[in-house]
Structure 1
Amino acid sequence: MNLAIDLAILAFAVAMLLALVRLLRGPASTDRVLALDTLYVNAMALLILFGMKLDTSMYFEAALIIAMLGFVATVVLAKFIIRRDIME
């Protein structure tokens, strides 16, 4: 089980690196928003894997907070791209 968790951590770390490259290079703003969304989902999965590896629930709570903040950030950025205004 430890080997599977270690390989999954490596895979998610590589996925985060690729999402970071897309976030920095993305030709369009929509690409950057999707890369940011992918980045926070991968960070959340990485924290859950760390929690499983270290057998602690602290990482699960941190993953929940990242999920909530990431969802709000994605909605705000999508609204900004569509309307070019955040406040109504």
Structure 2
Amino acid sequence: MIGYALTFGFGALALALAMNLWRLFKGPGVADRILALDTMVINVIGIIVLTGIASSNGTSFEAALLLAMVGFVGTVAYAKFLLRGDVIE
């Protein structure tokens, strides 16, 4: 049963990544592109977690946590750059 759930999860996340890529390239504004990148990071974290569940590997959960932290900092930096035009004051 877990195999079916993992297959469905991988498929759903792959579809979500494809839609995020479409929004990243077609987005009408810079804010939409930043949001697409942030959502892509969240989807990649989901894929890493599903891979960890499928392989029973604990290291991938730590990698997902690190990617979440880096993704958060990146999103904040992009948003600050969008608002002020400079990241470091």
CA distance in 1 between counterparts of 2:25 and 2:61 reads: 28
- Runs of 4+ more than 4 Å apart: none
The unaligned stretches of length 5 or more in structure 1 are none
How big is the alpha-carbon RMSD for the aligned residues of Structure 1 and Structure 2? 0.7
Aligned pairs, number? 88
Identity %: 42
Q: Which runs of 5+ in 2 are unaligned?
A: none
- 1:50 aligned residue: 51
- For 2:59 and 2:76, locate their aligned partners in 1 and report how far apart those are by CA, in whole Å: 26
- Shift of the alpha carbon at 1:29? 0.3
The alignment's TM-score, normalised by the length of structure 2, stands at 0.95
Per-residue deviation, 1:59? 1.2
Displacement of 1:85 after TM fit?
1.1
1:61 aligns with 2:62: yes
- TM-score using structure 1 length: 0.96
Partner of 1:11: 12
- Deviations 1:35-82 (CA, angstroms, capped at 9, x unpaired): 000000000011001100111112111111110100000000000111
Q: Which residue of 2 aligns with 1:78?
A: 79
